[in-house]
Amino acid sequence: MVLLALLAILAPALAPWDPNRPDVRKILDAPSGVHPLGTDQLGRDVLSRMLYGARVSLAVGFVSVGIASLIGTMLGAAAGYHGGVVDATLMRLVDLMLVFPRFFLLLAVLAFLRPSIWTIMAVIGLTGWMGVARLVRAEFLALKEREFVVWSQAVGASGLRIVWRHILPNAMAPVLVAMTLGIPAAILTESGLSFLGLGVQPPHATWGNILNEGKDAIEIGWWLSVYPGLAILVTVLSYNLLGEGIRDALDPRLRQSVGRIVTRR
């Protein structure tokens, strides 16, 4: 995961060729010493386009998950802390958003908007906050009954101070896990949209639109499908493993069970 991030950050220095420079003399060249990952239908270097595509994919993942987490945390905190009518209204909004299949909702929204990296980030973020909201609400419902919150209310602390200083820091563990697991989901969503031609538009390189271009030449240009597919696989797998590891590390029940097993041994 760190290696992928470094490759994306250093793409301008590492890319051996201009990712958007066509060369009609090298159309669909197989991987070689000059072009380690081959070239595409316009003679562009696939390695260079993969490196620049990593920047787009990771940027979409981080920014869209940041938007979703911010919205979900705010709404979940409001629902869990205030309860009553506020909780019921916000949770019905969450239920309403969950009724629509997310990918088809994205397709419907993007049909009316001009596809760009900023549009993709905003749309993925604005349609992916419901899970975070439910997690934060559940944490707030449990934490607001704890002694340190009751004591803060007894000494006259404001609701905003209680939420910001006492409840929210203790409710961030599941949000951190959800954010880590949300990044690969956002990358897959962006790749799927780009594969369908509704994501980031050419000539900007993304792993999804490289796959889209490669499907028409898969019999003679297998590298256009294999390498972007492997990049998506490795990225999604690495972030999923990280999210699982964080969840296991932050779960006190799992730590207690592991401790009991070690004690018996």
CATH pick for 2-14+28-264 out of 1.10.1740.10, 3.40.50.300, 1.10.10.10, 1.10.3720.10:
1.10.3720.10
**Burial letters 214-233, b for 16+ CB under 10 A, else e:** beebeeebebbbbbbeebbe
Average pLDDT for residues 210-229, to the nearest whole number?
86
| pLDDT tens column, 35-44 | 889 888 888 9
Determine the distance from the C-alpha atom of residue 80 to the mean position of all C-alpha atoms in its chain, rounded to a whole number: 25
Q: List the beta bridge partners of residue 45.
A: 39
Average pLDDT for residues 77-89, to the nearest whole number?
89
Residue 262 neighbours by CB under 8 Å, 6+ apart: none
Average pLDDT for residues 84-108, to the nearest whole number?
86
Least-confidence region, from 13-17, 140-144, 196-200, 248-252: 248-252
Confidence of residue 208 (pLDDT cuts 50, 70, 90): confident
pTM, two decimal places: 0.83
